[in-house]
Amino acid sequence: MAEALNKVFIEVEVDDSVAGDAALAAKLEEVCPVDIYKDAGGRVEVVEQNLDECVLCRLCIEASPPGAVRVKKLYDDSELS
């Protein structure tokens, strides 16, 4: 039961080509309203424990180069990109 409650429904993928982009890391940390991205010394870090707070606002997608960030909705097998 506890395991079911802790299930993660959102997965975020950051392409390797942009993971080390310091400007993007800062931008993503700034735009995501629920702190899913962290600027880890110039690298994009995904804060796993915040993933299920995602409100599907697309701000991270719009802040990134096309295809660089994907927000996957695991519950219906679709994604924002």
Among 1-9, 13-21, 52-60, the segment contacting ligand SF4 (CB under 6 A): 52-60
Alpha helices in 1-81 (DSSP H): 2-5, 16-19, 22-31, 59-63
Please state, in angstroms and rounded to a whole number, the distance separating the CA atoms of residues 43 and 2. Answer: 33
Candidate list 18, 24, 54, 68; residue touching ligand SF4; CB under 6 A: 54
56 binds ligand SF4 (CB under 6 A): yes
- Residue 74 interacting with ligand SF4 (CB under 6 A): no
Among 36, 44, 64, 68, the residue binding ligand SF4 under the rule CB under 6 A is 36
- C-alpha pair distances (Å), 35 with each of 12, 31, 48: 12, 8, 10
* Residues contributing to the site for ligand SF4 (CB under 6 A): 12, 31-34, 36, 54-60, 71
